[in-house]
Amino acid sequence: MSDTAASDDGDGPAVDAEEVRHVAELARVRLDDDEVDEFAAQFGDILEYFEALDEVPETEREEELVNVMRPDEIEEGLSQEAALRNADETEDGFFVGPKVS
């Protein structure tokens, strides 16, 4: 595997712990130090493998996309009670979230 994707373009696949921490912060996932180290090691291999995408020729993309519309009519939805039923904390018919700051 490793020989298909050698990269020397500077921003190659080596990933350090700092980078993993930064991405984890962007993704809002807390990691402990062991996980950070494990992921840093694994991400190097995986991203190096992804580098093989550099060999892909630019291809014209013909997306077969169509707009799907429906009439803007009021339909039955979930009741407030049903919508709140899985929430950990609710108050007066609202979801209660963590404090904002």
**Helix (H) or strand (E) run with residue 94 in it:** strand 94-95
53 binds other proteins (CB under 8 A): yes
Q: How far is the CB of 28 from other proteins (least distance, A)?
A: 5
Residue 37 in contact with residue 17, Cβ under 8 Å?
yes
17 binds other proteins (CB under 8 A): no
Exposure letters 41-58 (e unless 16+ CB within 10 A, then b): eebeeeebeeeeeeeeee
Q: How far is the CB of 34 from other proteins (least distance, A)?
A: 11
Binding residue for other proteins, selected from 3, 8, 10, 26, defined by CB under 8 A = 26
Residue type, 48: E
46 binds other proteins (CB under 8 A): yes
- Phi, psi (degrees; rounded to nearest 5) at 94: -120, 160
Binding site for other proteins (CB under 8 A): 1, 11, 19-20, 23-32, 35, 39, 42-43, 45-47, 49-50, 52-62, 68, 70, 78, 82-83, 85-89, 95-101
